Structure formats: structure tokens, C-alpha cells
A = this chain, B = another copy of it.
Amino acid sequence: MSDNFGFANTVDRASDDRTLTYLEAITEALFVEMDRDENVLVMGEDVGGEFGGAFKATKGLAAKFGDRRVINTPIAELSFTGMANGMALMGLRPVVEMQFADFISSAFDSIVQFAATSHYRGIGKVPWVIRAPSDGGIRSGPFHSQNPEAWFVHTPGLKVVAPSTPADAKGLLAAAIRDDNPVIYFEAKPLYRSIKGLVPGGGYVSEIGKAAIRRPGSDVTVIAYGTQVHTTLEAAHLVADDGIDVEVLDLRTLKPLDTSAILETATKTGKVIIVHAANRMVGVGAEVAALIAEEAFESLDAPIVRIGGLDTPVPFSPPLEDAYRPTAAKIEAAIRKLADY
């Protein structure tokens, strides 16, 4: 994928930039932020000790920072997230790992009822981060492949981020940890070891609420986030030979949405496709489409197209999962159709 996912366009390369995987970038953010701020701690199932979590994102943290700051919890998502609420109210900055994003539903009350409403109700600030390893395409079945972001983007009081590059994996996690609000950080499992990119060293932050153009173009805009940014770039590449110039906007933050970046690209190309792996119905793509249909209506030259997961649970079997998910081929077909409109 060209040009470090557009990262080079937006950030000065520090001299200590290194090429890291997406997963390494996450771990690095944890090391840096825990080092920087004693109030930062990590908790969740199996995150501690030598083990370092189901995906090893927290590996090495306990050795460096001790068990006090890297806490193994029992299987009790509702209450360990509730505990994070209380810790955060007292000034700590817990980073809670859900073993898979799928299990975030088990903590739902602690997130959407307590954390999301507490500042508004005058209870206090709840500066935690939930790390939620999400997305499928890796044959993990209906309970280890989910993309549940829409539930939380709908819920007032939360912030939601979804990095697509190693630089953002680090920068958005650091920003989420420093943010004074509850932030859900959807990390894309399929990207963990499949992509590498330059990552600035030290305490580096990607601003929450800012989308990024990953590929400038003039004919059709595709708006995506997470893994689908890469699928989209692939599709853009496939149509480029036929002279279709695709602009790819990576949302990066899902709540709050970068509405001006969305409206700007929609106005520029007049043709918009929105792609995400989560179920299309009442997904984040619906919000983006509705936003454009209300605020950039006059600039539209074609229907707004959404490509998302089907309205089924995520199926396990490879042919079914491929039918379920957005793929480069599906995006390519939609781009071609829209370019011809």
C-alpha cells in the first residue's frame, strides 16, 4: 500500500521513526503512556504476567511495570469495566482490554449507562480506554469477528476511534489514553501482523476527531475505516488503470465524526461510497450517508452507496464469510458503477 497509508502526508517523520506492525504500535503506545503517566494501568482477562493477552498486545508490560499496573481480571466484563469507571473517577486512566470486541456486549451497562452519562450528570470525568480487538475475515466465527462500533457511536457521551495504520494505532491509542472521556478503541485484528508502517517514536498522538485522506482523487470518494481502508485502497488501485481516480477518506475517529472532512470530499467528487465490515443496517455508514444527503445534497452527482456486512451474524465458513464481508472486488464493482453513473 502506497506511501505509508498517507501517513507521510500528515505527520513529520521524527528521526526515530521505525517500521512497526500495527500490533507492535499498540504495544508501544501502552509502554510509552504507562511510562509517561503513573495513573495509566492496564486490566482485563489474561493481560498480565508473562502471557500478555490473547493477542500479546500487553506482553512485556507486567515485567516492566509490575502486577500492580497490569491487572489480570476474572471473566466479569460488566464489573471490571464498572471498576474501571470507579478508578477513572478517582483520577486513574485504566486501559481495559476486551479479549475480543465481541465480548464488549457483556460490559454494556458499565459503558453506555454509567461511563457515557457520568460527566453530563455531574458525576465526574471517566477517562478510560477500552481496547476492543474487532473485525473478521480470519475465520473466527460469529463470536470472534464482530464490529460492534455502531452501538457506541449511537450512544451519547462516548468517543470511538478505529485506526487503520500503525502510526494511528499508536497515535490514537495515546490520544485516547490522554483524553478525559471514555474512549472505545477498536483495533482491527486482521491488521495486527499483516501491515507495517512508519511509526514515530516517543510520545506521539493522533488527534481524535480528524479524518485523513489516504489517497487523493477526483472521480469517486470512498469513505472507510479500519481494515476496510486497505481493502478500499486495493480497489482504488484496481480501477486506477482504467482512469478512475478514487479519493479514499479514512475516518479514523467514528465519534465525533469529522463532518467537515466528510462533506469536503463529498462536495469534491459528488459521488460517495461508504464501506465498513460492520452490518450495514443502521451502521456508521448510514450516519455518514445521511449526513451527506442532508448537508451536501446539492453537490451530489449520484446515489450514495453503502457497502457493509450483511444483515446476518458473521458466518464462519470461508465462502459464507466472504459473501458476508466487503471485499476489494465488491468495492471495485461499486466504484465502477458509480463512476459510470
Pair B113/A282 contact, Cβ less than 8 Å: no
Looking across the interface, which residue of chain B has its beta carbon closest to that of A313?
Answer: B117
A16 at the interface (CB under 8 A from B): no
Contact in complex: B283, A282 (CB < 8 Å):
yes
A293 touches which of B112, B156, B281, B290 (Cβ 8 Å): B290
User: Is A287 among interface residues, defined by CB-CB distance under 8 A?
Assistant: yes
B120 touches A312 (CB 8 A): yes
Q: Is the CB of A279 within 8 A of B154?
A: yes
Taking a contact as CB atoms under 8 Å apart, the answer to whether B279 and A156 are in contact is yes
Q: Which B residue sits closest to A272, measured CB to CB? A: B293
Q: Is the CB of A157 within 8 A of B293?
A: no
Q: A113 near B312 (CB under 8 angstroms)?
A: no
Number of chain copies forming the complex? 2
Which residues from chain B contact A305 at a C-beta distance below 8 Å? Answer: 294
Contact B106 A106 (CB under 8 A): no
In the complex, how many angstroms separate the beta carbon of A275 from the nearest chain B beta carbon?
Answer: 13
A281 touches B287 (CB 8 A): yes
| A25-33, A62-70, A188-196, A295-303 - the one binding chain B | A295-303
Are B313 and A157 in contact, with the CB atoms below 8 A?
yes
Q: Which of B117, B150, B151, B289 contacts A289 (CB 8 A)?
A: B289
**A155 interface residue per 8 A CB criterion:** yes
A157/B312 in contact, CB under 8 A = yes
Q: Contacts A108-B108, A143-B113: A303 and B313 contacting too (C-beta < 8 A)? A: no
Known: A106-B108, A120-B312, A154-B279. 20 other contacts (CB 8 A): A102-B113, A108-B108, A120-B142, A120-B313, A120-B315, A121-B142, A150-B154, A154-B281, A156-B279, A156-B281, A156-B310, A282-B286, A285-B290, A289-B290, A290-B290, A293-B304, A294-B305, A295-B303, A297-B303, A297-B304
> Which residues does A use to contact B, with CB under 8 Å?
102, 105-106, 108-109, 112-113, 116-117, 120-121, 142-143, 150-151, 153-157, 255, 279, 281-287, 289-290, 292-295, 297-298, 300, 302-306, 310-313, 315
User: What 7 A-B pairs are tightest by C-beta distance, nearest first?
Assistant: A289-B290, A297-B303, A293-B293, A286-B286, A154-B282, A108-B108, A286-B290
Residue pairs across A and B with Cβ atoms less than 8 A apart, 10 shown, are A105-B108, A105-B113, A120-B142, A150-B150, A154-B281, A157-B312, A282-B283, A282-B286, A294-B303, A295-B303
